[in-house]
Amino acid sequence: MEIYLDNASTTEPFPEVIDAMMPYLSDEYGNPSTIYSIGRRTRKAIDEARDTVAGLLSVKSSEISFCSGATESICTLLIGAAFAAKEGRKKFVTSSIEHKAILKVAHWLMDYLDWEVTLIDPMPSGHINPKEFTEACSKGCGLASLQWVNNEIGTIQPIEEVGLKLKGMGIPFHTDVVQGIGKFPLDLGATGIAMASASSHKFYGPKGCGLSYIREGIDVRPLLVGGGQELERRAGTENVAGIVGTATALSVLARGQKAFVERLVELERIFFDTLNSSGIEYALNGGEPRVPGMMNIFFPGVESESLLLHADREGLCISAGSACASGSTEPSYVITALGGNRMRGLCSARVTFGWHNTNEDAITGAKTIGSIVAKLRGST
């Protein structure tokens, strides 16, 4: 039986999500753009899902559109906003520790639209200095993006401060909320954010679905054009089951928000208590504020690749940095950006708890890691 401690990579869908989706994978298969009743019913399901999501994020329904996931949302919003940027404002500001989806768009803007890109490095704690970020946006900036929560180390960025300042400066500001959803209440409307992207499978919803937030009045050119679906923002017949599953996942999370966060804090405490009693040397990457239950740990002298392979043999699923980076022996660019050396970037592993984990998972996970690290160091 596997112990799954890689919830930042993807999550097990809530049973309520599967139940809500099932009818739209079987009897309720109508195309939402048709006028007969089976199509009208799927249209209604999408409309209701949009209202639910908008209500939970404190924004208007017309500001939410569904797509295939965060990567699509990020590409669409950033490239679409760049095409709509004001004359003479061809500068994109973001951080050097963003997910690859953002960093690759930065390259795309340089390569294909001749934009200038400024990457802000984090402080050693893994946080971006809001003053440094907004100052970098003061001249010629046409677009900025900052992740809410880092996907490798869980640090929470000063989104409200940056968002409100950039709103005042008239700069469209996008945030990647992928790792933030469910970890704290998200009141997008109050933050000054112009655009946001999320993936449903990161918050106990289905894969292949995600959402975009575009504040009213923000100009984003659509990249997928055709049938005009999703408020003309993303053409193509909708993934009705995915959309319904997304709204259900968000509702379940919102209902249990406080208990969920308390649970993550508890699992993290149990994990570290157990790891400490194993006596092995380690250090946590990234400082506070950080989301609970997302720990990136440096084990000096133990390459994460070996640790992960041994863990897998014992049925423990953990990762080294982002999932997209696994399989590569390059050190984590996030850990090295914190000022860590190459060795720290190569010898750090990520453990992330989720809704389905038990206390036993935390204890066994920590014991397994402790004994593998000790074995790899040759101390047993």
> Does residue 23 have a cis bond before it (omega within 30 degrees)?
no
Which string of x and - marks every residue 87-116 that binds ligand PLP (by CB under 6 A)? ------------x-x---------------
DSSP 46-73: HHHHHHHHHHHTTS-GGGEEEES-HHHH
**CB of 238 within 8 A of CB of 46?**
yes
202 or 344: CB nearest ligand PLP: 202
- Amino acid identity at 354: G
Give the chain's largest Cα–Cα span. Answer: 70
| Shortest Cβ 176–ligand PLP spacing (Å) | 5
**Of the residues 30, 32, 69, 205, which one makes contact with ligand PLP according to CB under 6 A:** 69
Number of residues that bind ligand PLP (CB under 6 A): 13
According to the binding rule CB under 6 A, does residue 70 interact with ligand PLP? Answer: yes
21 or 275: CB nearest ligand PLP: 21
**Of the residues 134, 179, 212, 332, which one makes contact with ligand PLP according to CB under 6 A:** 179
Whose CA is closest to 17, among 208, 150, 176?
208
Q: Which stretch binds ligand PLP (CB under 6 A): 14-22, 65-73, 126-134, 362-370?
A: 65-73
Phi, psi of 240 (to 5 degrees): -60, -50
Which string of x and - marks every residue 314-343 that binds ligand PLP (by CB under 6 A)? --------xx--------------------
Q: Cα separation of 40 and 291, whole Å?
A: 41
Residues of this chain, 5-64, that bind ligand PLP according to CB under 6 A: none
**Of the residues 94, 147, 296, 352, which one makes contact with ligand PLP according to CB under 6 A:** 147
Using CA atoms, how far residue 266 sits from 15, 151, 262, in Å, is 23, 20, 6
Whose CA is closest to 361, among 9, 10, 7, 17?
7
According to the binding rule CB under 6 A, does residue 71 interact with ligand PLP? Answer: yes
Examine the residue annotation and report whether 209 is marked as an active-site residue of this protein: no
List contacts with ligand PLP (CB under 6 A): 69-71, 99, 101, 147, 151, 176, 178-179, 199, 322-323
